[in-house]
Chains A and B, each alone.
Chain A
Amino acid sequence: MRRITIYGMLLALALSVGSCYPGGIEYYEDTDIVFTSYEPDYDFTTANTYSMPDSVVKITGDDEQEFVDEPYNTQIINRIASNMETLGWTRVDDPEEADLTLFPASWTNTTIYYWYDYWCWYYPYYCGWGWYYPGYVSSFTTGTLVMTLVEDENAIEPYRVWTGALNGLLSGSYNANRVTKAIDQAFEQSPYLAN
C-alpha cells in the first residue's frame, strides 16, 4: 500500500509538473508585429513628395481586382497619410511628379507564398517589373498590410527604399485600433523618413 501511495504521488507529480508548461500568446493583439526596412544607400533628405493611391489593394491570388472595404480602406489611407505628413512629406496626386510612390496592399494568408506585381492595377506604367513580398507559411489565418515606398526615376526596375509590413493573427472582425496602432508604429520606428 505504501509503495502504491508513493508511486501514485510520483505520477501525480509528473502530471502536475507537465501540465504547468508555460503558456504564450493570450490575445490576438499579442501576435501583432511590425517590420520595417530601408535602403541604406538612399538619401531620404533628397525627397519630400510622394504619391499614394486612394485604395488599398487586396491581394487574393486571383486576377480580379479587389480593394479593402470601406470605411477601413479610408481609415488606413488617412492614417498612412497622416504619419507621412507628420514626418514632413507632401502628398501629390500625380506619381510622375512625386519623388517617391507609396503602395499599400493587404492580404490574408494561411499557407501561400504570394508573388504579385499588384501596382499594375494602379498604374500601368509600373507593369511588368514584378515584385516579391514576404512569404508566410502558417496553419492559421493572418492579416498583413504592406507599405512600400519606391523610387522610379531613372530606374529600370522600381527602387524600393522603404518597406513597412504589419502582420498579425486575424480575429474574425476588423479591429481598427490594431491596424492604426501598427501603422503608427511602422513610422515611429522609421525616424530616417523624417524630412
Chain B
Amino acid sequence: MKKTIFFILVIGLAIPGLVKAQSGYTSFQYVMGFGVGDLGEFISKASFRGATFDYQKEFSPKASMGLELGWSTFYEKMEYGTYVVEPYSLSGIQYRYSNMFPMLATAEYYPVSDAALKPYINLGIGTMYTIRNTDMGTWTLEEKAWQFALKPEIGLIYDLGGGADLKLEAKYYTGIKTSKLETQSFFAISTGLVFFIY
C-alpha cells in the first residue's frame, strides 16, 4: 500500500515534465475521508490516510477537463465481540480495512476565473476499486470490487504566487453497488498544492 501512494505521487511528479506547454495544472492533495452508508457501518472511524493526484487541462479560462487518481484507507479495530450466523458463532477482535481507489475523468468549471481566490465545481465519473478486509485471528476475509463511480466536488484555489497555489476541496465519492459489494460512499475534505503548467 505504501508503494501505491508513492506510485501515485511519483506519476504526478513526472507528468509536468512530460506535458508540453499547455494551460492546465497538476495537484496533490492530502485527503480525509468520512464513510457513510455501508462503508460507514463497516468502519465508523474517519480516514486520515489518503491522497489524490489531479491533472486538469484548461479548454477555456472557465473550464477544464482532466483525470483524478486517489487512494483512501479506512481502518477500525473493533472491540472483542461475538458474531453470530446461526448455527455458527465466532468471537474475537476484528480489524477492518477498506482501501478505496477512485480513478475518474473529471470536468471542472470556474465561475470566477481571474481572482486570487478561485472557486470551482468539479464532476468526476469513472471507477472506484475497493479492497475490503475483515481480519480476525490469523484469518482475513477479503472482498474486492470495481464499481462505477461518481464524484461531485466543490472547492477553492488560492493563489499563493510563485507558481504554486493552494487548493481546498470538499467532495463526495460514490461507488455504485455491484454483485460483490454494496454501494460505497464517503465524504472527503482535502487540501494540497496546485502547480500550473504553461
Could you tell me which A residues sit within 8 Å of B by CB distance? 2, 6-7, 10-11, 13-15, 17-22, 24-25, 30-40, 136, 138, 140, 142, 167-169, 185, 189-190
Contact = CB atoms under 8 A, between A and B. Distances in A.
Contacts of A2: 162-163
A20 B1 CA distance: 10
Interface in B58-114: 73, 75, 77, 82, 84, 86-93, 95, 97
Interface string B130-141: 000001111100
Contact of B87 (A10, A22, A39): A39
20 contacts: A2-B163, A6-B164, A10-B193, A14-B5, A15-B6, A17-B5, A18-B5, A18-B6, A21-B49, A24-B77, A24-B135, A30-B93, A31-B137, A32-B92, A33-B92, A36-B88, A36-B90, A40-B87, A136-B138, A142-B137
A185 B193 CA distance: 52
A24 B2 contact: no
The A interface is mostly helix, strand or loop, or mixed, namely: mixed
Contact of A24 (B9, B30, B82, B95): B95
A138 B138 contact: yes
Contact of B1 (A6, A14, A21): A21
B136 A22 contact: no
Nearest to B12: A10
B173 interface: no
Nearest to B45: A22
Nearest to B91: A34
Most B CB within 10 A of own CB, among A17, A35, A136, A140: A17
Nearest to B193: A6
Most A CB within 10 A of own CB, among B6, B50, B138: B138
B10 interface: yes
A169 B138 contact: yes
A10 B89 contact: no
Interface string B27-62: 010100000000000000000011100000000000
B19 interface: no
B13 interface: yes
Contacts of B51: 13-14, 17
A183 to B, nearest CB: 12
A33 B30 contact: no
Given A33-B137, A142-B138, A189-B82, A38 B75 contact: no
Most A CB within 10 A of own CB, among B1, B6, B89: B89
Nearest to A6: B164
Most A CB within 10 A of own CB, among B51, B137, B193: B137
A167 B75 contact: no
A167 B138 contact: yes
B86 A32 contact: no
B13 A7 contact: yes
Contacts of B136: 33
List 10 A-B pairs, minimum CB-CB distance, nearest first.
A18-B2, A22-B75, A33-B92, A33-B137, A14-B9, A34-B91, A189-B89, A24-B95, A37-B88, A14-B6
